[in-house]
Amino acid sequence: MDILNIKIFLREHHGYLKKSAIRLSERLNADLELCETALYEARREAKEVKDTNANNNESVISEFQEFLDKNEIKPEDVASVKFWQTMSGKQRFSVVTKSETKSIRDIKKEIEDFTFTYSPKKINSYFYEPALDPVAYEISLPDIHYGKLHELSLKAVEDQFMSIVKELVAKAEGLNIERFILPIGNDGMNSEGMRMSTTKGTPQQDNGGWKDTFTGYWKLMVKAIDFLKSIAPVDVIVISGNHDFERMFYAGDVISGWFRNDLGVTVNNHYDSRKYYEYGENMIMFTHGDKEKPADMPLIMATEQPEMFARTSNREAHCGHLHKEMVNEYRGIKVRFIPSICPNDEWHKQMGYEAKRTGQAYIWNKQRGLEGYLQTNVRI
């Protein structure tokens, strides 16, 4: 065994520093002269470490006393002191005084005293101040399929629709609504009328004659618009669906004529299947969503309305058709499929097509874009 390994042994077994070189030689079966040399060097190193620690201890004790004097802390007021050594070998300490320590009993007493003496302020009423920023409030209720044969009568469908509209307006209390956006259609009616089928010819079971369902639908929309325009101007967007592509255009013309002299109502019944709406820095494309691929909609928006696209920074596409909520984002543009409040007919029930019947309204800030939405669920 060489001298280096002997010194390593001595560092790990301090007791052999007090023993003779002979004992160390016997223990390690090492050369006696090497053991003598290793013992001499190890004892010298140990003494140097001891002297250094003593000097450090004297220094840190002196610093500790200076700390007490500087902060006017009496030794008897010290609850505990913790000493430690840094990686560089410097001594450090921390002091906790008796005034900084609390027993569990003291803490428990403080909590009990606070509990028994605390009295919350009584608030008699709540009030909401309108938000400073004006907003556009989009009430979007697609796919009501007015006239579809299901468990609700036409009167019940009308009552449910108006109830949802009023609930969404009530939930907007506190918003500074400067105008309503009201997309209508999106399969507003269940069939194309006399044919009682979808636009492509799929037979439909309707609850009532085609004249009754056509007249009932546009009158229901007029009723909703009248309610909303008593609060703020209304921008109506007419969107044809795959069940009522023709009839929805006719209904839109009737509604446009009804409000032709009303400055508080605008009606966009342009024959294009996709409608665009601009509000501040916001661009919304309204489409039924049965023809376009969602991933293609951002490019369609930029191609069909390049100037509006350039003026705006917040852009979304709002669709119906699926009767359920689904949101995806493509190249920074959200494509939002909006849920429906329509109950299922017998065929959809048999096929297991179920979705939460929900009405939603969207809050648009002119600069910041869509800031959230409010929702009300159909009571079943």
Query: Which element (helix H / strand E) includes 239?
Result: strand 234-239
In 3D space, the residue among 251, 215, 216 whose CA is nearest the CA of residue 236 turns out to be 251
The token pair that represents 143 in the structure block: 């796919």
In terms of Cα–Cα distance, which of 326, 309, 311 is closest to 360? Answer: 326
pLDDT tens for the chain, residues 1 to 380:
788 888 788 878 878 888 888 888 888 888 888 888 888 888 888 776 666 665 556 666 777 788 888 888 888 877 777 776 666 667 777 777 776 666 667 777 777 777 777 666 665 555 555 557 999 999 999 999 999 998 899 999 999 999 999 999 999 999 999 999 999 999 999 999 888 899 999 999 888 888 999 999 999 999 999 999 999 999 999 999 999 999 999 999 999 999 999 999 999 999 898 999 999 999 999 999 999 999 999 999 999 999 999 999 999 999 999 999 999 999 999 999 999 999 887 767 777 777 889 999 999 999 999 999 999 999 87
85: number of Cβ within 10 Å: 12
In angstroms, the Cα distances linking 59 to 49, 178, 202 are 15, 75, 96
Closest CA to 305 of 295, 290, 315: 315
Check residue 290 and give its pLDDT.
96
Right CATH for 134-377 from 3.40.50.11540, 3.30.43.10, 3.60.21.10, 3.30.450.70:
3.60.21.10
